[in-house]
Amino acid sequence: MNRKDLRIRVAGKEDVPLVLEFIKKLARYERLSHEVTVTEEILRENLFEGRRVAEAILAEHQQIAVGFALYFHNFSTFIGQAGIFIEDLYVDELCRGRGFGRALFLYIARLARERGCGRVEWSVLDWNRPAIQFYESLGAKPQSGWTTYRLAGEALQKLSEAP
């Protein structure tokens, strides 16, 4: 791949349909399509209007979008610094292994340094060996001894209504 043919850019409001398309492709790949309820309106509101809670970037090859990443800031009380959490990162299947995923990570790593962040984190499904191998090739290390928990749906509703 010729580096001049690759461009990473910040997604704009006009890119919301494309971001949603990538989210749906990622969900299909992860066998989680049944969990996708996000709409263009929800993305637009949360990425570009009011209180922006996340950001997105696009990878383009010869002016065609081939991947994306969606991320947001978190905070580590132990190190006293903000971090970046990558919620989603996806590269179209036919474009994998050509440096697009690495370019997305490089952009986020540089952004983290520019913003004074102490770390970049993300989750990966334990069966996704190609992604795990890719992340480890970047120098990332799995966090052992931690289990991710999620409070959502009915359980979240019930807890929020507790006396």
pLDDT tens-digit profile, the chain (163 residues): 556 789 999 999 999 999 999 999 999 999 999 999 999 999 999 999 988 999 999 999 999 999 999 999 999 999 999 999 999 999 999 999 999 999 999 999 999 999 999 999 999 999 999 999 999 999 999 999 988 888 998 999 999 999 9
Q: Is 31 helix (H, G, I), strand (E, B) or coil?
A: coil
Cα 131–chain centre separation: 13
pTM of the entire predicted model: 0.92
Cα 102–chain centre separation: 13
Residues making up the chain, counted from first to last? 163
Catalytic amino acids? 135
- Backbone φ and ψ for 17, nearest 5 degrees, come out as -60, -35
* Beta strand spans in the chain (E): 6-10, 55-61, 64-76, 81-91, 119-122
Assess if CATH 3.40.630.30 describes domain 3-160: yes
